[in-house]
Structure 1
């Protein structure tokens, strides 16, 4: 293994541990057991246990399922923003953008706008980069909210309910997140998308 490969592996492991700690903290704060979360998310207890310990890398789909259980956005699983005078304000500096690599699926998401809730709602804009053959998974998934996006570069195949669309640079989309959906990059070049998620904030569930 060369130095660059080892470094990338170490970074992925650190991200997995960080995400795992956030999953556990959200679960404990709501007084939920692993069994509770497994039943509500459809994920196995074994996977959840490994994810909390940083031994398994959650996919975008599984974090979406967990965000529904905890009533938070996927942005809550990202690294914390650097501390600054405007860390909780209406502006997000380029140098402060949190990002998360879903290295098992070829997807990287970078937060472009402040993720803090505003007036009982969350509106978060991401820069999503999808490597060739990268995808959200083989199965469609659903969650609360609305989403929209714009293809900045490359191509995207997106399935919304029973319809499949091939989008190219300059194309846009919008759909209800409650409709089964999935997406993938079936080309040989990376795809870059500005992706927006909106959802109403609900009361956090507990036992």
Structure 2
């Protein structure tokens, strides 16, 4: 359930309420009614209406579904941080220039890739204790990652895994998946996704 936050340190991130209006703008630009969008993404008209008005926040999976129905990647909703240094040449992302999405569920995703025009996306997720991705979701591609700190519970299809710091994983993203931090301390995970789904 995201609130969008500005790039940079999570401690000084200011929430922005622009995801709903952005979804509404994209929907209208594509000539879709709420009913059309509902049919395309499988979410109720009521939920979508509340989302567009800022009365509801999507889970990570719901944001994937809505973005796919609108023909964009989730990265469309990442606010752009400070402009990249010309000397970074589309190769490097400086810590203070990372783009970030902060979800109400307690997950902050930092985009580590300088752009999403290639075949690879790298995210650093910081998950508060008890936070989760919401209902299982799926998208095209393959993804993997490594738990840097804490504990990650991962469901891929009917399989359930508990991963600790240093454990890694890979799976095909078209398999329904979800995850959560069951621990009492924050979990940090680096994800690699191809092709980019954000």
Q: Same fold (TM over 0.5)?
A: yes
CA distance in 1, matches of 2:169, 2:26: 31
Structure 1 residue aligned with 2:177: 181
Distance 2:139 2:32 in 1: 20
Q: Deviations over 1:73-108 (max 9, x none)?
A: 2222111232345498333222111111111x1111
Aligned twin of 1:77 = 77
Matched-pair contact (CA < 8 Å) for 2:107–2:131: yes
Unaligned runs of 5+ in 1: 1-7, 202-207
Residue-by-residue CA offset, 1:157-177 (whole Å, 9 max, x unaligned): 101111101111011111111
C-alpha distance in 1 between matches for 2:58 and 2:133: 11
CA separation of 1:169 and 1:84: change in aligned 2, threshold 3 A = closer
Give the match's secondary structure for 1:61. Answer: helix
How far apart, CA to CA, are the structure 1 residues paired with 2:61 and 2:34? 18
Name the structure 1 match of 2:90: 89
How do 1:22-171 residues align onto structure 2 when only pairs under 5 Å count? 22-86=22-86, 89-103=90-104, 105-118=105-118, 121=119, 123-137=120-134, 139-171=135-167
Tell me if structure 2 keeps the 8 A contact 1:140–1:181. Answer: yes
Unaligned runs of 5+ in 2: 1-10
Following superposition, the deviation at residue 71 of structure 1 comes to 3.2
Corresponding residue SS for 1:91: coil
Q: Normalising by structure 1, report the TM-score.
A: 0.80
Q: TM-score scaled by structure 2?
A: 0.84
Q: 1:146 to 1:72 in 2, by over 3 A?
A: farther
Equivalent residues, number: 185
